């Protein structure tokens, strides 16, 4: 018998992953550009710190990673997120758009 | 001249505050009941830990606190949140509702 948690760790993990300025920036870049390299220009964040941010995003189900030669390229799992948490990504990206343009 | 950050610490702080199972539970209770005491039944979380959760929610602008005698009662700043981050709270609460009923 299914006994879903009232506290929903899946949603909490996604919100936690999005709840950081650098990770929000990475999500916004992916939303705008489609793919993002591990260490995009203009972030001013050490590569080792970025690796940790990418891990948190990946483990929360927010990004997908593909290899292209030695490079790794990340994309937003937009359709998956929209299915799991309808409206959430749109609200997050709309806010970024409104504040940054 | 206004120079909004591209990274938007306000949104990140709100997402971080929501990105915890206990804090999500508190938010859901306030959404359902209007007000919430500091230490509601059925959470199984020490009062000192709850104080910390309430502080994070308050500092992110998610809750408002009023005193009633010795008690403190918290409410969601729903209208403020809907203005600052349209659709965000609705997406978070819809997901909780869908998973828990």
Q: What's A55's domain CATH number?
A: 1.10.10.10
Residue B45 clears pLDDT 60, i.e. is over it: yes
Q: Between chains, do A99 and B20 touch, taking CB under 8 Å as contact?
A: no
The CA–CA distances, whole Å, from B16 to B2, B26, B84 equal 25, 14, 15
Asked if residue B100 is part of any domain, the answer here is: no
Considering only CB atoms, A6 lies closest to which of B14, B88, B100, namely: B100
Band the pLDDT of B78: cuts 50, 70, 90.
Answer: very high
Looking at the structure of chain A, the number of domains it has is 1
Asked if residue B2 is part of any domain, the answer here is: no
- Residue A13 at interface with chain B, using a CB cutoff of 8 Å: yes
CB atoms within 10 A of CB B57: 24
Asked if residue A40 is part of any domain, the answer here is: yes
Q: Give the B window 15-44 contacts with A, CB below 8 Å.
A: 15-25, 28
Q: What is the domain range of residue A84? A: 11-94
Name residues whose C-beta falls within 8 Å of residue B21's C-beta, 6 or more positions apart in sequence: A5, A7, A8, A9, A12
Q: Between chains, do A100 and B4 touch, taking CB under 8 Å as contact?
A: yes
A30-88: pLDDT as tens digits: 999 899 998 888 888 998 899 999 999 999 999 999 999 989 999 999 999 999 999 99
Q: Between chains, do A24 and B13 touch, taking CB under 8 Å as contact?
A: no
Band the pLDDT of A95: cuts 50, 70, 90.
Answer: low
Band the pLDDT of A98: cuts 50, 70, 90.
Answer: low
Angle at A95 between CA A93 and CA A98, to 5 degrees: 110
Using an 8 Å CB-CB cutoff, list chain B residues near A27: none
Q: Between chains, do B7 and A16 touch, taking CB under 8 Å as contact?
A: no
ipTM attached to this prediction: 0.85
Asked if residue B6 is part of any domain, the answer here is: no
Which ranges constitute the DSSP H helices of B34-87? 47-59, 78-84
Q: What pTM does this model have?
A: 0.85
Coil, strand, or helix at residue A36? strand
- Residue A92 at interface with chain B, using a CB cutoff of 8 Å: yes
Q: What percent of chain B has pLDDT over 70?
A: 84
Band the pLDDT of B50: cuts 50, 70, 90.
Answer: very high
Q: What distance in Å separates the CA atoms of residue A3 and residue A1, rounded to the nearest whole number?
A: 6
Q: What pairs with residue B65 in β-bridges?
A: B74
Interface mutation target, options B2, B5, B10, B15, chain A, most CBs of A under 10 Å = B15
């Amino acid at each position: 018998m299914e006994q879903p948690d009232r506290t929903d760790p899946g949603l909490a993990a996604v919100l936690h992953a999005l709840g950081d300025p650098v990770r929000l920036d990475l999500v916004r870049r992916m939303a705008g550009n489609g793919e993002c390299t591990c260490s995009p220009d203009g972030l001013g964040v050490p590569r080792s710190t970025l690796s940790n941010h990418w891990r948190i995003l990946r483990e929360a189900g927010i990004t997908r990673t593909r290899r292209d030669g030695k490079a790794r390229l990340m994309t937003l799992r937009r359709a998956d997120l929209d299915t799991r948490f309808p409206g959430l990504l749109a609200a997050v990206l709309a806010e970024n758009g409104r504040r940054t343009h």
